Structure 1
Amino acid sequence: MTRSAPSGADAALIAALAGLGLTVSQAQLERWRAAHYLPPHPREHLGRGRGTASHLLPQTVARAAWLAAASRQGRALPVAAAWACWAADGSPGGMARLRTAVVDQLDRYGKLLAAGNARDNNSWQRRHNAAKAAARRVPDLDQHALLRAIATTAARDPAAVAPLPRVDRGLALVLGRLLAGGGEDVGEDELLDALCQVLPEQAEALRTAAAARDAAGHGGTWEGFPLAGGWPALQHAVQAAPDHALRRAVELVTATAAALELLLVHLGSAAQAGLPAPPTGLDVEAVPDAMTTALADPMWDEWGRHMPLHSDSPAWPTVAAYQTALTLLLPGRADALAGYRERTEQLIRRTRNPVQP
């Protein structure tokens, strides 16, 4: 079947992209629209029975250019880029796809954890074994230690970035069991002991807070602790969230992760060493001392170091789905992440207008 010629707006879009050195076909534009990555052109009535005409918006050119740069020949758009597009537009079709994608990621990992409500001994053992296996997969590579070495070398100052405790497999096991089976599989005292082991300088404060909960009659009840519902609580948070809340959560997670990747993987070490920014195709550079500043941010320890720095990592979709659910579930999390995103993006400055989705 012969494909019809591009509409006036699409022809103008293809020409605009060609002017940017990007080759995009009419078929690609149609596929992006079908997947809700690229919004349709707005149409206006010409009046006097002359019908309607579509027109090209600058933001459509920017989105298509970003999609062309993010796409790889013959391969689907990366998950991070797809989620960012759906969240940025907020169209009903895109939001439906986004919600399904996030829930599917949570569902797949929930099955890996053998999450479920059965309380018999065999089910408990299955969940425990799955959580133990997941804890063993906590990577030996410490992102903070690696980036700290790069930053301190570039800064020529071994004290430029403070060390952080390594991710602890014991705590990972307790959290894995909590996510797999909820508060009925794990006692509050187990989580408290694991946290005190990892955070010895905060142990006294943690135990004081636990004693206060006991005195108030809340000890052992998990009251006020959203993760006590286990993995199903995360799935429910995404399924039940209004579109605007889910959109904001995904936008915060994807944008913050993208800013960290750009800063820490591509730009930071050069800026720290006083060298020109390497080519990224985005016409941006990091401010001086950006890398040491980023690694000293409290949210780096709480959030950033646990997010895969490469968006094409196989672990990225699951971790992003988990962080999205936490953003919806934990009070104040969205605002804290919004502040972290802003601080991170302030460490990157434009040399001219970059292409944005």
Structure 2
Amino acid sequence: MTRTPPNAAELALATEVARSGWTATPHQFERWHAQGWLAPSRPVDRPATDSLRPETAGRAVWLAALSAPGRSIGWIGWMFWSIDESPQTAERLRHALAETLQHPLRRAGVTLAQIPYAGTDSAFTVRRELARALLDGRRAIGRELDGILRAHDAAEDVILPAPRSVSSPFATSLVEAGLAF
């Protein structure tokens, strides 16, 4: 993507974001504009006051706060699309929502045409089998790790707290048990 030199509005926006304690570059603003999350910058957003609109600066601060390398803006971007209520953002939101809802179906090899909508017993049975297909291959990571730890704690003479009695993986009782291993 060819980068354009930042205009005065983008530089002012970067300054506003920095004032809030976050960082964002004019190149990020370009990406956010392309995604439809941030209104396009004009050289002067409000010519009479020579300042940015507060809602534009606020949205840029939110986007900067959520931006991190390898991290998706995700649901907040969807929220911005729904707030904007333009035909383009509505189409983007529809597409993103459909893709997200259909992803587990595609992973399980299930198409929408396979799902019966009737209220019969046979339709219920088919839906139950399709739901089982969706769950096949899914891993309950927490349960697997708990089982592995419990299999080894007796050999090491370590006592783990009861399942679901610890609210955080960094709870003192778990950290002490981890240190003993």
With the shorter chain as reference, the TM-score category is 0.5 to 0.7
Match of 2:65 among 57, 66, 69: 69
Evaluate the alpha carbon distance shift between residue 92 and residue 14 of structure 1 in structure 2; reply closer, same or farther with a 3 A threshold. Answer: same
Evaluate the alpha carbon distance shift between residue 134 and residue 107 of structure 1 in structure 2; reply closer, same or farther with a 3 A threshold. Answer: closer
- 1:89 CA drift (Å): 2.1
Q: Which residue of 2 aligns with 1:174?
A: none
Match status 1:31 vs 2:27: no
Distance 1:108 1:7 in 2: 39
- 1:126 CA drift (Å): 8.3
Look up the equivalent residue of 2:23 and give its one-letter code.
Answer: T
**1:90-115, CA deviations, whole angstroms, 9 ceiling, x for partnerless residues?**
23222211100111122333332624
Look up the equivalent residue of 2:73 and give its one-letter code.
Answer: P
Q: Which residue of 2 aligns with 1:15?
A: 15
Distance 1:134 1:38 in 2: 36
Q: Which residue of 1 aligns with 2:90?
A: 95
Task: Check the 8 A contact 1:45/1:53 in 2, yes or no.
Answer: yes
RMSD of Structure 2 on Structure 1 (CA): 3.9
Match of 2:78 among 71, 83, 94: 83
Q: Which residue of 2 aligns with 1:40?
A: 40
Structure 2 length as normaliser, TM-score? 0.57
- 1:83 CA drift (Å): 1.4
Task: Check the 8 A contact 1:22/1:68 in 2, yes or no.
Answer: yes
Matches within 5 A, 1:96-115: 96-111=91-106, 112=108, 114-115=110-111
The structure whose RCO (Cα within 8 Å, separation 6+) is larger is 1
Q: Rg: which structure is higher?
A: 2
Distance 1:81 1:27 in 2: 20
Look up the equivalent residue of 1:22 and give its one-letter code.
Answer: W
Evaluate the alpha carbon distance shift between residue 118 and residue 96 of structure 1 in structure 2; reply closer, same or farther with a 3 A threshold. Answer: closer
Task: Check the 8 A contact 1:41/1:56 in 2, yes or no.
Answer: no
Task: Check the 8 A contact 1:38/1:60 in 2, yes or no.
Answer: yes
- 1:36 CA drift (Å): 0.5
Distance 2:142 2:55 in 1: 40
Evaluate the alpha carbon distance shift between residue 2 and residue 83 of structure 1 in structure 2; reply closer, same or farther with a 3 A threshold. Answer: closer
Task: Check the 8 A contact 2:33/2:39 in 1, yes or no.
Answer: yes
SS at match of 2:60: helix
Percentage of pairs with the same residue: 28
SS at match of 1:56: coil
Evaluate the alpha carbon distance shift between residue 54 and residue 130 of structure 1 in structure 2; reply closer, same or farther with a 3 A threshold. Answer: farther
Task: Check the 8 A contact 1:16/1:61 in 2, yes or no.
Answer: yes
Q: Which residue of 1 aligns with 2:53?
A: 57
SS at match of 2:36: coil
Look up the equivalent residue of 2:61 and give its one-letter code.
Answer: A
- 1:132 CA drift (Å): 1.8
Look up the equivalent residue of 1:131 and give its one-letter code.
Answer: A
Number of aligned pairs? 137
Distance 1:66 1:45 in 2: 21
**1:295-324, CA deviations, whole angstroms, 9 ceiling, x for partnerless residues?**
xxxxxxxxxxxxxxxxxxxxxxxxxxxxxx
Evaluate the alpha carbon distance shift between residue 72 and residue 135 of structure 1 in structure 2; reply closer, same or farther with a 3 A threshold. Answer: same
- 1:19 CA drift (Å): 1.7
Evaluate the alpha carbon distance shift between residue 55 and residue 41 of structure 1 in structure 2; reply closer, same or farther with a 3 A threshold. Answer: farther
Evaluate the alpha carbon distance shift between residue 78 and residue 15 of structure 1 in structure 2; reply closer, same or farther with a 3 A threshold. Answer: closer
Distance 1:107 1:28 in 2: 29
- 1:33 CA drift (Å): 0.5
Task: Check the 8 A contact 2:46/2:52 in 1, yes or no.
Answer: no
